[in-house]
Chains A and B, each alone.
Chain A
C-alpha cells in the first residue's frame, strides 16, 4: 500500500536522463515544463471553476440571477442565512448528521467482526461467503428496493422515517466488510497467536490486539461510509419523501428549487451549504482518505 506524501517527487516517473547535447536538453526541459504546467493549470481550471461560479452566483441578488452576468453586482451574503432559515433546511441538516453518524457507528460495530472472521478463520464456505460479499457490494440498490419498501412500509409502517436505512447497517455493510477484510489479511497471524497464548479468546484478541493496529483502515472505512451516507439520495428518496420532517440534505436539496420556487442564487447557496462540510472534513482528514482510496484499488 503506497502512501503518497505531498510533494513527493515522482516527477521523473516516465522520465530518464539521456539525450545528446546540453543545449537541446535544456530547451526540451523548458518546453516540457511549460507544457506540463499549462496542462496542469488548464485541468485546475476545469476542477476549480465550477466551485467558483457556484460561489459567485450564490451571492447574487434575485434580480441578477436570471441574467447572463458572471460577476455579482452586489454581494448578498445573507443568501446563505436565508437558505439556512428556509423551511426545513436545519431539519435536513440534523437528519443527515444523525443518519450518517449512527449509520457509520453501526456499520463499524457490525462489519469488523465479520471482516475479521473472513480474514482469519478457516471454514468451509469461506470463499463462497467472500463471493457473496462481493456480489452484494456490486448490487444496485434498485434490484431489491421494491419488496424491501413494501416490507418496511406495509409490514412495519416505518416509511417516512430513516429507520429502514439505518437498521440494515446493524447487520454489516458489504463494502466496509470487503475493505476491512482486505486490510486485516495483512495483519500477521503472529500477533493474534501471541494474544491467544496469553489467554485471549478470539473476540478479545480482535479488540485488544488487532483493532489498535488497524486504526488507519478503520478510519478510512468510517470516512467512506460517513460520506456515502451523507451523499445518499436514493435511500432517502424512497423512504422519507412522504415526510418532510425526515428528509436529509441530499433529498432536500434535490427538491429545494421546486419546493421553494427559488431562483438559482438561493439554489446555488444551498448547494454550497451541502457541499461545504464534506470538503472541510476532507481537508482535515486528507491522509486517511487517500490511504483508504488506495486500499481499495491497489490490490490485484
Chain B
C-alpha cells in the first residue's frame, strides 16, 4: 500500500478514535432512586470535618443511624474539600460518594444548576416531611437555588465576637463593645506594641486573618451582593463600601498593614491548638460557634467570653445579629443507592435527637425548628449566645451563585489591595469587581 494512502488511513483512524473518546468522555453516568432502602447495602459519606473531636462526633452520629437502620452501613471519609467533592461528582463510578456534605453554602448554586446533587423535594414528599415546618426559613433558603432544593442544612454556623476576659479586665473594659467605634477603641486599648511587633494585639483585621473576611464584616453592614436578576450590586452597595472603609481604618489604627501582616505570620494554624486567640496573641476574634468547644477541649488558658459582633454606629438597634452559614448535605446524582442515601440524610437532618446530640458534640447551631426548641440543647451560655445570633431576624448569609464562591474571592482580592494600600480607589475597584463578577457568572453558564 502506498505511503500516502497508508498515512491517510492512519489519520482517519486516529480522528475516529479521538472523536469517540471525546464524545464518550462527555456523558456522565447517572444513578437512580430505584434501590431498595431496606436491602443490605453500604453507602459512602464524604464530609469536611477534620478535628479529632469532630470526627468522633460524626462517627457517633453514624453509629446511631446504623443502629436504627441495621441494613445500611455508612463509610465515612473526612477532611474533604469542595475541590475533591467536585472532582468526585464529575468522575462518578463505584468510588464516588453517595452522600456529600460541605461547610460552604457557596457551591449550592453550582451543585443545583449542574445537577450534581439530586432534588430532594420528591424524597421529602415520599417521607412525609414538610420542609417549611421542619427547617427555619433562612436554612431552607441557603440550601436551595432557584427553586431546586438540592441540599438540606446539617447544622448551622453563626459568627460572633470572642474576647479574652482577663485582657479586658486588665485594660479596664467592663463589657464587650456593641458598636464599631467602641470596638475600634477597645481594640486599640488592648494592643501592646513590642519593638516592631506586638506583645498583644487587640484584633487581627487583615483579610488573611482566618475568619476576618469581607463577607463576615459586611454582614454587619447589611451588604447585598446580587439584585433580583442575578447581576452584581457590589459597585453601588453602600454597606459593602462602608465595611471596606471601616476595616482599613482599623488596620491603620492598630499599627498599619505591614506590621500586622508580619505579626500574622507568627500565628499557628486556625484549627490547631496554636490558634492566635487561644494562645493569647489576640484579645478579640471574630469566629464561629465551634470555637468555644475547641477552647474547652484544649489546654488553652484563655478565659473567653462571647457576644454578638458589634454593629456600625448607625445600625445600633440591630445589635445581636451576625453572619450565618451552615453545613449542607446532599445526595450525589451519580449514586446508585439514592433511597438508602436518603434514609441517612433524613436521619442526619431531621431526627431531633440526632441533630441535638450532634449539635452539642461539635458546638454547631441546630438546624431544625424542633431541635432549636429542644430542652436537651447545651445550656452553656456562650453557646446560647450563638443560638440567639442565629435566630436573630437581621442575621444574614452570603447568597449562592451559579459559579460557587468565585464572587467572594473577587471581593477578597479587592480587600487585599485596599488594606495594603496598593489600591486607594475603592469605588473604582468595586466597579471593576462588579464587572468581573458578572463576567464570571456569564462564563459559567
**A interface vs B, CB < 8 Å?**
62, 66, 124, 147, 150-151, 153-155, 157, 159-160, 241-244, 257-259, 261-263
Please indicate which of the listed interface residues A62, A66, A124, A151 has the most CB atoms of chain B within 10 Å of its own CB.
Answer: A66
With beta carbons under 8 angstroms apart, the residue of B3, B84, B93, B273 that contacts A157 is B93
Could you mark each residue 228-272 of chain B with 1 if its beta carbon is under 8 Å from any beta carbon of chain A, else 0?
000000000000000000000000000000000000001111111
Known: A147-B25, A155-B21, A241-B84. A66 touches B266 (CB 8 A): yes
Is the C-beta of B121 less than 8 angstroms from some C-beta in chain A?
Answer: no
User: Would you give the shortest CB distance from A226 to chain B, in whole angstroms?
Assistant: 28
Whether A157 lies near B92 (C-beta < 8 A) is: yes
Is the C-beta of B274 less than 8 angstroms from some C-beta in chain A?
Answer: yes
Chain A residues positioned under 8 Å from B91 (CB to CB): 153-154, 157, 159-160
Mark out the residues of chain B between 1 and 35 whose CB falls within 8 Å of any chain A CB in the assembled complex. 3, 21-22, 24-25, 28-29
- 25 chain-A/chain-B pairs, Cβ below 8 angstroms: A62-B273, A66-B266, A66-B274, A66-B279, A147-B22, A153-B87, A153-B90, A154-B25, A154-B91, A155-B24, A157-B91, A157-B94, A159-B88, A159-B91, A160-B91, A241-B87, A242-B80, A242-B88, A257-B269, A258-B269, A261-B50, A261-B269, A261-B273, A263-B269, A263-B272
Chain A residues positioned under 8 Å from B274 (CB to CB): 62, 66, 263
Chain A residues positioned under 8 Å from B269 (CB to CB): 257-258, 261-263
Chain B residues positioned under 8 Å from A62 (CB to CB): 273-274
For the residues of B in contact with A, the DSSP-based class is loop
Is the C-beta of B51 less than 8 angstroms from some C-beta in chain A?
Answer: yes
User: Would you give the shortest CB distance from B63 to chain A, in whole angstroms?
Assistant: 20
Residue of A nearest to B84 (CB): A242
How far is it, in angstroms, between the C-alpha of A241 and the C-alpha of B82 when the chains are bound?
12
User: Would you give the shortest CB distance from A264 to chain B, in whole angstroms?
Assistant: 9
User: Would you give the shortest CB distance from B268 to chain A, in whole angstroms?
Assistant: 6
17 further A-B pairs in the complex, CB-CB below 8 A; given A153-B91, A244-B77 = A62-B273, A62-B274, A66-B268, A66-B279, A147-B25, A150-B25, A154-B28, A157-B91, A157-B94, A159-B93, A160-B95, A241-B84, A242-B84, A257-B269, A261-B270, A263-B272, A263-B274
Whether A262 lies near B50 (C-beta < 8 A) is: no
Residue of B nearest to A239 (CB): B87
How far is it, in angstroms, between the C-alpha of A258 and the C-alpha of B271 when the chains are bound?
9
Chain A residues positioned under 8 Å from B24 (CB to CB): 155
Mark out the residues of chain B between 86 and 136 whose CB falls within 8 Å of any chain A CB in the assembled complex. 87-88, 90-95
User: Would you give the shortest CB distance from A118 to chain B, in whole angstroms?
Assistant: 20
Could you mark each residue 380-422 of chain B with 1 if its beta carbon is under 8 Å from any beta carbon of chain A, else 0?
0000000000000000000000000000000000000000000
Chain B interface bracket (under 10, 10 to 19, 20 to 34, 35 or more): 20 to 34
Whether B25 lies near A157 (C-beta < 8 A) is: no
Known: A261-B51, A262-B272, A263-B274. A243 touches B266 (CB 8 A): no
Please indicate which of the listed interface residues A124, A241, A244, A261 has the most CB atoms of chain B within 10 Å of its own CB.
Answer: A261
Residue of A nearest to B270 (CB): A261
Residue of A nearest to B271 (CB): A261
Whether B83 lies near A155 (C-beta < 8 A) is: no
Whether A151 lies near B21 (C-beta < 8 A) is: yes
Chain B residues positioned under 8 Å from A150 (CB to CB): 25
Is the C-beta of B424 less than 8 angstroms from some C-beta in chain A?
Answer: no
Chain B residues positioned under 8 Å from A160 (CB to CB): 88, 91, 95
Chain A residues positioned under 8 Å from B270 (CB to CB): 261
Mark out the residues of chain B between 54 and 85 whose CB falls within 8 Å of any chain A CB in the assembled complex. 77, 79-80, 83-84
Chain B residues positioned under 8 Å from A241 (CB to CB): 83-84, 87
Chain A residues positioned under 8 Å from B93 (CB to CB): 153-154, 157, 159
With beta carbons under 8 angstroms apart, the residue of A154, A159, A259 that contacts B50 is A259
Residue of B nearest to A258 (CB): B269
How far is it, in angstroms, between the C-alpha of A151 and the C-alpha of B23 when the chains are bound?
11
How far is it, in angstroms, between the C-alpha of A134 and the C-alpha of B252 when the chains are bound?
55
User: Would you give the shortest CB distance from A54 to chain B, in whole angstroms?
Assistant: 18
Please indicate which of the listed interface residues B51, B77, B84, B274 has the most CB atoms of chain A within 10 Å of its own CB.
Answer: B274
How far is it, in angstroms, between the C-alpha of A153 and the C-alpha of B279 when the chains are bound?
44
User: Would you give the shortest CB distance from B20 to chain A, in whole angstroms?
Assistant: 11
Residue of A nearest to B83 (CB): A241
Chain B residues positioned under 8 Å from A242 (CB to CB): 80, 84, 87-88
How far is it, in angstroms, between the C-alpha of A241 and the C-alpha of B83 when the chains are bound?
9
User: Would you give the shortest CB distance from B282 to chain A, in whole angstroms?
Assistant: 14
Whether B268 lies near A263 (C-beta < 8 A) is: yes
